Amino acid sequence: MAAPESPRTDSSPWNWLLLAPIVVPLLTPLFNHDEPRLAGFPLFYWLQFAFILLGVGTTTLVYRMTRKRSRP
């Protein structure tokens, strides 16, 4: 006999925030420039690192807001 399936609980509105790190790097007019430079690097290169931080920060935020807290 199979165990009864529980309803899905991953339908939090916080999950929509995970689209930001996917969509923002696709907006090429944001980084299709040579200026400004940061430590000699053009905008394109250091903005790629900013996109990584955006993804990590967004994933961390969504995880913390949607995880189930254990009850003592």
Tell me: pLDDT of 51 over 70: yes
Q: Which of 5-9, 43-47, 51-55, 64-68 has the highest mean pLDDT?
A: 51-55
CA Rg value for the chain: 19
Share of the chain above pLDDT 90, in %: 40
59 falls within a domain: yes
62 falls within a domain: yes
Number of structural domains found in the chain: 1
**Cβ(46)–Cβ(38) below 8 Å:** yes
Q: Residue 58 sits in which domain range?
A: 39-71
60 falls within a domain: yes
22 falls within a domain: no
34 falls within a domain: no
